[in-house]
Structure 1
Amino acid sequence: MALRYLKTRFSLPPGVPPTNTIRELVRRFFSQGRWFNPVRYGGVGMDERLDSGPFNPDAPATFYDEFKHFFIGAKTDRDFIQLSPERFGEYPFAGAFSWMTSVVESRKAGWREAHLRQVVEIMHLLGSPLAQSGLDEDFDRKNWRLVPHEDGFGSSREFNVRDYSEGLSGLYWRNVFGAPFVDLFGPRLDAIPVSQRQSLDDGLVLVQPYELPTQAMTPEGDAAESQLIATLGPDAFFDLQTLRKPTRVPDVSWMRSRH
């Protein structure tokens, strides 16, 4: 049976996070959260090996200090994290930190509770304005589409929404909104049923259409997402049916001016 990934994606503010912040990020992730046993790190191939024993953040922090990105993985590809800031400034809001694991973890209520606490902690550490978690295949279908070439031969994979400055690609299992989106949605957030909305630390707001990520891409899950999108305002979301881009986007100009 093919592995189904649960993806948690933290959007980054403009700029490249300092090395000391990333050192603290991986320290917390593996020494406090201990979400998986890290074995490999480096670029896409994760060719470097971590020392056995208690996790030491020095090696991945040194790699990051030189290359400004990294992967850290378990022994297999079941679990890994990826940090990819926008290093060149062309698309300043496109950077992200992503965490991948098997969706089977989310069956446990205790794991889901710990996951939400971890998401909030990481958002605060990175200054992330948006974190979304759900099936990796759901991210793929909402963020990308195949566009046929004009000559009729082949097609290209193109994004629907490049980054959060252009609006949202959709709703996922968990959507944690920071200040730009809380301001964008305003009182519409209060109109969401309390069973699908939760106020978190420092003004963050969780919007969760359904209990389990495996309910995504089902008729019931799609209906729950559509209802919440209608409440928040469909003009803030990419429309998969008409390919209409968002026309109402968050004000992130102040974030760029800070970097």
Structure 2
Amino acid sequence: MVLAKTDRDFFLFSARKSDGPPHVGKLTWEAALSRAKSAQWRADHVKQVTALMKLFNSPVAFSATSEDTDRKCDQLIPSPSGVGQSWTWTVRDPSEGLAGIFWRNFYGPPFLEMFGDRLNAIPETQRRTVADGIVLVEPYALPTDAMTPAADAAEQQLREVLGPECFYDQVARTMPRRVPDLPHPGALSS
């Protein structure tokens, strides 16, 4: 995530619980939003995220502002008692599909297979191969462009091209109907 609230980088590691969802372990890297103004930082960021994806055999990574992440990954639902609301995820992990399109979307082999030729329909100004088996989809130039009408339109267009069934439906609050074929985490440790 790129944040406006910090001038330092922070790394947060969340391990997968043995009784939890299969792909819920994650690494969160938080950096100052102001850094994204630098073209050199943005170029280095692509290399660093790609290296982390390869190191952890990650099928997907995204980079976004905390506000954009919150609005796509978290939701408040009415309490069963009818009083108040409770917080939950839109999708818990990549095995459940994608929460949305963000500033930077790094798709590894399982997602490349799921999207197939649809990726080639994305303009080269928004799509590029950044490593063997990893494609970056970037709907707008800077994370600060997120949550603007132009950014929302660009994200919606990409969802339509890649297949809206691959993404959480924020309006209907329904899970993705198409998900990647991910190996079980136990198979990754060999």
TM value normalised by structure 2:
0.93
Change (3 A) 1:152 1:254: closer
Query: Which of 12, 36, 39 is residue 109 of structure 1 equivalent to?
Result: 39
User: Are the counterparts in 2 of residues 92 and 256 from structure 1 also a CA contact under 8 Å?
Assistant: no
Which consecutive residues of structure 2, in runs of 5 or more, have no partner in the other structure?
none
| Distance apart, 1:128 and its partner CA | 1.1
| Distance apart, 1:122 and its partner CA | 1.2
Query: Which of 215, 218, 224 is residue 145 of structure 2 equivalent to?
Result: 215
Q: How many residues align?
A: 187
Matched, 1:88 2:18: yes
Greater gyration radius = 1
User: Are the counterparts in 2 of residues 81 and 100 from structure 1 also a CA contact under 8 Å?
Assistant: yes
| Distance apart, 1:202 and its partner CA | 1.5
Change (3 A) 1:150 1:176: same
Which consecutive residues of structure 1, in runs of 5 or more, have no partner in the other structure?
8-75
Hey, what's the Cα distance between the residues in 2 that align with 1:208 and 1:156? Answer: 32
Paired residue for 1:235?
Answer: 165
3-state secondary structure, aligned to 2:125: helix
Matched, 1:183 2:95: no
Over the aligned positions, Cα root-mean-square deviation in angstroms equals 1.6
Paired residue for 1:142?
Answer: 72
Hey, what's the Cα distance between the residues in 2 that align with 1:185 and 1:126? Answer: 22
User: Are the counterparts in 1 of residues 22 and 184 from structure 2 also a CA contact under 8 Å?
Assistant: no
Hey, what's the Cα distance between the residues in 2 that align with 1:137 and 1:110? Answer: 24
Paired residue for 2:2?
Answer: 6
Paired residue for 2:28?
Answer: 98
Question: What is the letter of the counterpart of residue 220 of structure 1?
Answer: A
Hey, what's the Cα distance between the residues in 1 that align with 2:186 and 2:127? Answer: 29
